[in-house]
Structure 1
Amino acid sequence: MRRSPAEKSPEPGRLWSTHEVVAATGLTSRTLRHYDRIGLLAPTEVGVGGLRLYDQDALLRLQRILLLRETGMPLAEIAVVVHDVVAAAPAEHHRQISALRAQRERLLADRERLDVQIATVDRTVEALQKGHEMTPETLFDGFNHEQYDAEVRQRWGDEAADRSNAWWNGLGEDGQRDFRDELEDLNAAWDRAIAAGVDPLSETAQEQARRHVEWLGRAMPQPLSRELVQGIVQMYVGDERFAQNYNRVSASGPQLVRDAVHHYAQLHLTTGD
């Protein structure tokens, strides 16, 4: 009989290679390198030829990271949760508590949404078994999958929304994961710039703005006009859903990103006319 992973007892001091971790988790080696680069998960050892090795403590840490990532928690908040806080300053301890509370709220929201979806599936099964028909409202209760699609269509039109959806679906699971990793790397770089208090017009901020515009170009497979980019980054200030990506380090973060990208677009992009 095949034993489950939990029944296997690795020898003490065992180290696992990147290849083994990738095979076990479904992550990419690029993701593991990214986690190391941002200080989230460093390899236990680096062997001959740059072979990255992980011990059991590192794997346990990675498990916590992935569990938190499943909730939608940003990597910056995950770092606060998983870092050892035994000797942390009171401010760090407060940050960890805040991050855990935020995670709890996300979990509660996810649980509520999943409970509604499970009830919807149960009603669907029962209706099919009895030969009853269901209305669209009851069939899709709890899914709300059109929330952002409708918003995109309202802001930029059906053609842009259809093109964006086709592009995203065409990436596949691995491509979508890599794209999210790129965004996390980009946001981490913005966090460093915000923490350093750079001027939006400085060389550092403008280089980061260039990266940001290039990422937007991949995220929105359509010609990027000056007005489009400036309209998008304005939402970083005016819409809390976007602002939360840039206010982790400072409340002024969204304004810095908006101003830097706005200036870059003014200098390097053409109008949509």
Structure 2
Amino acid sequence: MAWSIAQVARMSKVTSRTLRHYDAIGLLEPAWVGGNGHRYYEREQLLRLQQILLLRDLGLGLDTVAEVLDGRHRAVDVLRNHRRWLRAEQERLARLADTVTRTIREMEGGEHNMKMEELFDGFDADQQARYEAELVERLGEGVQEHIDEGKRRMRGWTRADADTFMAEWHAVAEAYGALFDAGVAPDAPEAQEVTDRHYRWICLGWTPNRESYTGLGRLYVDAPDFKVQFDARAEGLAEWVRDAIAAYAEARLS
């Protein structure tokens, strides 16, 4: 017995777009494709999809899921490593939650002895350093001056400035997700309008040129910490944003 992609989407609560993305990256190919181009799945593919969803629920990235299912890594070894990461992240988030609690008390007037360095307890400086190093490695030493420029601009920010900055990022990301869900092409005018908003948001911190902005788009796909944020919204969104940024950079930047 075979099920169409629409039927599988309804059964599994996975969108047809996600199933097509899984096919495109070789993670879950259909049993066969009809003459009309529609994908059809049989029991073997449904069992593999179940395993994919179980591993994704555990927080594993698609590359790791593929390696586990294809036998390149033992599932138990991958899960042990992931458990170590989760525990470290749990500790970091606990510190971050405590920082937020103390900040709320400070802002409400209930606590006035909070040290300035405590404002940033729980933020991952090593992670930020990795992002910076990856940008420099990808784009050359010239991008370091952009990074330094961003640090200088942000040094004088208040907490309200930082909150506004992050709120705009979430708004842009949500706008990207809505366009992706609607099937809008990355180079369509609507997508480029949101990308212009994204570029202007980036310029609050630093001003990328064509090369560095394109590199940032690639980083959204290649850096797991970024990609997982987009994948949490929709599978394939990171690649879509990368392509939207590349189209914008090619058309508008030098």
TM-score (norm 1): 0.46
TM-score (norm 2): 0.49
